[in-house]
A and B are shown apart, each in its own frame.
Chain A
Amino acid sequence: MALTLQDQITSTHRGHGHCIAKGADLTRMIAELLGKEIGYCGGRGGSMHIADVETGNLGANGVVGGGIPIAAGAALASKMMKKGTVAVSFFGDGAMNEGAFHEAANLAAIWKLPMILFCENNKYGMSSSTEKAFAINNLADRGKGYGIPGVNVNGNDVVEVYEAAQIAVDRAKKGEGPTLIIAETYRWKGHSRSDKNLYRTKEEIEEWRLLDPIPKFIARTIKQKKLTQEQCDGIQQEATDAIVAAVNEAVKAKAADPAGLLDAVFKKVSA
């Protein structure tokens, strides 16, 4: 992994993957989705606001682009406090047109913040395709506008992403500033459950399904004899089992209680 536990991330409304990858407690994550007291946010945040301080997760965000300036701030703090950590902002192609992206990228560039601007370009911001939302074809070109490197990677290739990330992390830790990484990928399902996918074709979706990164990675690893099929199956089973166990445990947990709501707004001022 290019990041350590202390490195920080901010994520999007579709942040479960980042959360788990950064080392989240599965039970607490599922419990949060189910509105349980033991959930990460005590049932008050839900799917879009899961954060885990211990694993450097500063939170998924329900506002497009909301997490980008925050990641810049985390990077600023890291620099000021000489922590030596980096901050990664995960965002989608849609966020690149938000003012927040622009302002944060510029700040990170001028102050040489230890930050990675990681765009998961799945070609659609809800229903607006990148063809329609951008006047440029190569999103990575925007890096030039800020005076920072703009890097394209195949978002569905695990190794390519890892390598690009590592380069960006090293650059950041050396004090050379941020990198913009555009990782091309695809969103199989609709933006949300109410999405009828009227803006794209079935064929397009089918095409991309064939480019699923996990089977690709497994095939390559086996081919390179780094892991056996059994081992890979084992890893996948482990993952499935872990999720199932987490769900089972979370379901049994106590529902969040409205009684504590007013007190939950502010952190108590210590005497």
Chain B
Amino acid sequence: MLTMAEAVREAMSIAFDERPEVFLLGEDVGIYGGAFGVSGDMYHRYGSERVLDTPIAELGIVGAAVGAALSGMRPIVEIQFSDFTAQAMDQIANQAAKIHFMLGGALHVPMVLRTPQGSGTGAAAQHSQNLEPWFASVPGLKVVVPSNPADAKGLLLAAIDDPNPVIFLEHKLLYKIPGRDPVPEGSERIPLGVAKVVREGKDLTIVATGIMVNKSYEVCEKLAAEGISVTLIDPRTISPLDMQPVYESVEKTGRLMVVQEGPAHAGFINEVIAQMAGSSSFGSLIAPIKRLAGMNIPIPYAPQLEKAAVPQIEDIEAAAREIVKNWR
């Protein structure tokens, strides 16, 4: 079964084959095959005309991608660590995100920015961030967070199709492992802005992003064996966000828990809570909304410290049990 890295490569290859204007640029994506091996052998298959190695110049690279996108190309730009999107923020947030709106629709930016995010590799504070809220809070960007290889393939194809700038956040820990479901053959797209109900239950609704979907899934399996049934929802696209299945589920379960890796304060997942709190489904809640998220600290180096900084399976399990037990 394909790993996430392989699934992403497969999606890019399909897009390359479908459209000559699609190309990849980034640091070490060419000969090296990508820092995390995602582009792999694409350089050999497609050549240096379409797989461009760049110097270390995130702002310049992303800016060039914007300019190319404005001029008829469909660039995929890979930023080696999501932390380094900071160097490129002007071109991402001030240029790409705003061009279509500011220029009255005269131009648009069909660009995908792919970047690995997240902690768990011992790479410490500047190489481990989850920056979902940075992008989700900028109108004009679409933000996608795949939790498994199968979704990653279909979502990336849809992102490349999209005429707007899409930030595609891949979790480092997922690159080398296959998912629960095999990656489908073919080139079917998974539409952006549609959440997935991963499993259905009646006792609790969990909304989780990225790697937390998988951790939550394991908790759901364990609880199911004890008769506690949990609905697990993966938004897949965090901006624009599909809340409809969340409302429907909470109206059945009455209990909502949200799980993300990034720091709790001002994190993306708060958007789910905010929308729920203001919705007509609010009156279905029989328990306070529970949020599990990272500690409000930079990611520490030592393995036990790094683990402690973000929610683990045990944390998710304990929280789920507590809500179901104490709130009837």
Q: Which residues of A contact B (CB under 8 A)?
A: 8, 10, 32, 39-45, 49-53, 58-59, 61-63, 65-66, 68-78, 80-81, 87, 99-100, 102-104, 106-107, 110-111, 264-270
Contacts and interface: CB of A to CB of B under 8 A. Distances in A.
Given A40-B106, A63-B95, A265-B139, A73 B100 contact: no
A70 B66 contact: yes
29 contacts: A8-B71, A42-B104, A44-B101, A50-B103, A51-B107, A58-B67, A69-B64, A69-B67, A69-B91, A70-B66, A70-B70, A73-B66, A73-B75, A74-B68, A74-B71, A76-B67, A80-B68, A100-B60, A103-B60, A103-B63, A106-B57, A107-B61, A264-B101, A264-B104, A266-B142, A267-B105, A268-B163, A269-B161, A269-B162
Given A40-B106, A70-B95, A265-B140, A58 B162 contact: no
Interface string B274-316: 0000000000000000000000000000000000000000000
Contacts of B75: 73
A74 B91 CA distance: 14
Nearest to A264: B101
A265 B193 CA distance: 15
Given A80-B49, A103-B59, A267-B108, A51 B103 contact: yes
A135 B57 CA distance: 23
B200 interface: no
Interface residues of B, number: 47
Contacts of A10: 67
Contacts of A49: 102-103
B68 A45 contact: no
A52 B106 contact: yes
B27 to A, nearest CB: 12
Contact of A106 (B60, B105, B107, B108): B60
> Which of A8, A62, A74 has the largest number of chain B CB atoms within 10 A?
A74
A61 B69 CA distance: 17
A60 B256 CA distance: 47
A266 B68 contact: no
Nearest to A69: B63
A75 to B, nearest CB: 7
A69 B70 CA distance: 12
Contact of B163 (A44, A61, A66, A267): A267
Contacts of B161: 269
Nearest to B164: A266
Contacts of B60: 69, 72, 100, 102-104, 106-107
Contacts of B102: 41, 44-45, 49, 59
Contacts of B101: 44, 264-265
B200 to A, nearest CB: 29
B49 A72 contact: no
A264 B95 CA distance: 15
Given A103-B60, A266-B142, A41 B103 contact: yes
A87 B67 contact: yes
Given A53-B106, A70-B95, 14 more contacts: A32-B104, A41-B104, A58-B71, A72-B67, A76-B67, A76-B68, A87-B67, A99-B59, A100-B90, A100-B91, A106-B55, A264-B104, A268-B163, A269-B164
B70 A74 contact: yes
A73 B63 contact: yes
B23 interface: yes
B67 A107 contact: no
Interface string B99-132: 1111111111000000000000000000000000
A220 B22 CA distance: 50
A71 B62 CA distance: 12
Contact of B100 (A87, A111, A265): A265
B94 interface: yes
The 9 A-B residue pairs whose C-beta atoms are closest, nearest first, are: A69-B63, A73-B67, A103-B60, A41-B104, A77-B71, A73-B64, A103-B57, A42-B104, A70-B67
A10 B95 CA distance: 12
Given A69-B91, A107-B55, A269-B162, A74 B100 contact: no
B218 interface: no
A73 B65 contact: yes
B68 A73 contact: yes
A251 B142 CA distance: 36
Contact of B69 (A8, A41, A73, A110): A73
> Which of B62, B69, B99 has the largest number of chain A CB atoms within 10 A?
B99
A66 B107 contact: no
A266 B65 CA distance: 18
Interface in B125-178: 139-140, 142, 161-164
